[in-house]
Chains A and B, each alone.
Chain A
């Protein structure tokens, strides 16, 4: 695996899940406002397709750590802001929610791509580190610099806020062993270094 791997837009089709988006908006069938949101769907989806530049940047650090940066690019948030500025709140809310749903699609897809990438070297994903929950030391700002070589418009604040907002950052640890979890597996004695479940009690207790 290269130190820097980039998956471009061809790996992340811009196809927001209509029912999922409406579910996130709590815009159920039969609501009085549902027709207004359905009428705005095509415009919002078109705006998303024009603004989104989905890509994943994976930085390898050492033998057992990857940093993954997912982004829709710098143009989605300004497109949302412009719709709100024009007081086109329905389209703006739709575009905002669509972009979030697309980002989570990318998250799921990135796991598949990572698994394939690691599998070529006989490695497996051991654990996932989230910046919001893990120690700040796990994500020093210097770790973001290689990402900026691909996405120069991206930045990470000292508080851990990513710009552009429609982005996601997480880390994964790697292992030479696949997760051996079964109902009788004792996580506390597992050889998977970095897996957070190693602190868990034996699952068979």
Chain B
């Protein structure tokens, strides 16, 4: 895909202009389109992490990019608000960003008990478990998830990612950040490597 087309597609994505995105992509080959979408969103996400691109702009781009999805892909991760966290906001944003990156995740919902996360890992062989927190107190649920996973012998099978709180000295997470964008970017970079 040439630079002009990539620029037009980027502008349309940022506007959240679904119709323009679809009409532009009608002239692009499918694989090239996927590469372009990923490179555009990679740039947007990096900019977002540096504070250069507002989160609202990424939201609009994610919505437009979701319209380009080729079809239902099997999830490669599971995501849920930990047990005790009934707020789905952080989880919504995390799933949205993963979706925009072309990385589908299984939505486990809110207040998810540790054994539900582990059942999903065992059944689907997920490499990533993403947990969202509402308050620092929710770390207790993350520690129980980690302990239960070690007891079942599943802990080595996945990377544990926590979003919604800064890491503490005893966090069992492989990555943790208050920012959903940072967590999503870390997961996607590992997924692609």
Give the chain A neighbours of B61 by CB distance below 8 A.
33
Which stretch of B1-9, B70-78, B82-90, B175-183 is in the interface? B82-90
CB distance A77 to B14 under 8 Å? no
Check if B25 is an interface residue, CB within 8 A of chain A. no
Closest beta carbon of chain A to B51's beta carbon, Å? 10
CB distance B84 to A157 under 8 Å? yes
A33 partner, pick from B15, B85, B96, B134, beta carbons under 8 A: B15
CB distance B54 to A161 under 8 Å? no
Nearest CB to that of B89 among chain A residues?
A96
CB distance A37 to B135 under 8 Å? no
Q: Which of B1-56 contact A (CB under 8 A)?
A: 11, 14-17, 54-56
B92 partner, pick from A27, A90, A92, A132, beta carbons under 8 A: A92
What string of 1s and 0s marks CB contacts (under 8 Å) between B94-121 and chain A? 0110010000000100000000000000
**Dominant secondary structure of chain B at its interface with chain A:** helix
CB distance A89 to B96 under 8 Å? yes
B54 partner, pick from A26, A84, A132, beta carbons under 8 A: A26
CB distance B56 to A93 under 8 Å? yes
Count chain A CB atoms within 10 A of each CB in B59, B134, B137 and give the residue with the most: B59
Q: Which of A30-86 contact B (CB under 8 A)?
A: 31-33, 35-37, 77, 80-81, 84-85
Complex alpha-carbon distance, A96 and B55, angstroms: 14
Assuming the A-B contacts A31-B57, A32-B11, A33-B57, are A84 and B84 also in contact, with contact meaning beta carbons closer than 8 angstroms in the complex? Answer: no
Complex alpha-carbon distance, A181 and B141, angstroms: 44
Give the chain B neighbours of A88 by CB distance below 8 A.
63
Count chain A CB atoms within 10 A of each CB in B67, B85, B86, B95 and give the residue with the most: B86
CB distance A26 to B63 under 8 Å? no
Complex alpha-carbon distance, A112 and B79, angstroms: 41
Check if A101 is an interface residue, CB within 8 A of chain B. no
What string of 1s and 0s marks CB contacts (under 8 Å) between A135-167 and chain B? 000000000000000000000010111011100
Assuming the A-B contacts A159-B137, A161-B86, are A32 and B57 also in contact, with contact meaning beta carbons closer than 8 angstroms in the complex? Answer: yes
What string of 1s and 0s marks CB contacts (under 8 Å) between A15-27 and chain B? 0000000000111
Give the chain A neighbours of B15 by CB distance below 8 A.
32-33, 35-36
Check if B187 is an interface residue, CB within 8 A of chain A. no
What string of 1s and 0s marks CB contacts (under 8 Å) between B122-165 and chain A? 00000000000011011000000000000000000000000000
CB distance B84 to A159 under 8 Å? yes
CB distance A89 to B137 under 8 Å? no
What string of 1s and 0s marks CB contacts (under 8 Å) between A95-133 and chain B? 010000000000000000000000000000000000010
- 10 pairs, CB–CB < 8 Å, chain A vs chain B: A33-B54, A35-B15, A36-B15, A36-B16, A84-B88, A84-B96, A96-B89, A132-B135, A159-B138, A165-B87
Task: Give the B-binding residues of A (Cβ under 8 A).
Answer: 25-28, 31-33, 35-37, 77, 80-81, 84-85, 87-90, 92-93, 96, 132, 157, 159-161, 163-165
Beyond A25-B54, A132-B135, A160-B137: 10 further Cβ-contacts under 8 Å? A31-B54, A32-B57, A32-B60, A33-B15, A33-B56, A80-B89, A87-B96, A90-B63, A159-B137, A161-B85
